[in-house]
Amino acid sequence: MTSSRILVVDDEADISTILSVTLRRAGFEVETAGDGVEAIDQIRRQPPDLVILDVMMPKVDGLTALRRLRQEKSTRSIPAIVLTSSPRELMRQEAELSGADVVLTKPFSPTLLRQEIRRLISASQPYHKEPVQRASGQTSS
C-alpha cells in the first residue's frame, strides 16, 4: 500500500519545513505550496489525500483557496485541515463554513495533528481508494 499524500500550504518556510519533516517521519508523502494559488494549481493537477492550509497567506489566503476547492466536483471531497494563529472563535467558525474538516490553532500538538490526519484519511478512504466490489461466481445469461 502506498503512503498517503499530503499537501502542506504555508507561506512561512520554517512552518512548512517543520510540518513536512514531522509528517514524513510519520510515514506520509509530503508536498508543499507557498500560497493559495500554487496550492489550487497543484491540487487540480494531482489531488492529494489531504491538504493542510494556513489561513494567512499572500495572493490567495487559505480560506479562499479552500472555498474554491469545495466548489469543484473533482476537489470538494479532499479532507482539509486549516491552521490559524488566531484563537478567536469567529476564525474557527469562518474556517468551518469555508469547508475545513478540522481547525487547529497554532501552536498545536504534532501528535494531535497526526491523529487528525489519520482519522480524516481513514474516513475518506472508502470514497476514494477502495475498488468497487463485485459478487464473485455470478455470470450473466
Q: What is the pLDDT of residue 127?
A: 47
Whether the ω angle into residue 107 lies within 30 degrees of 0, i.e. cis, is yes
Which mean pLDDT values do the consecutive 10-residue runs of the chain (141 residues) have?
A: 88 94 96 96 96 94 96 95 90 94 92 95 66 40 40
In the chain, the domains with their CATH numbers are 5-124 (3.40.50.2300)
CA 81, CA 62: separation in Å to the nearest integer? Answer: 10
Q: What is the pLDDT of residue 126?
A: 57
Q: 30 burial class (0-12, 13-18, 19+ CB within 10 angstroms)?
A: buried
Residue listed under C-alpha cell 513536512: 20
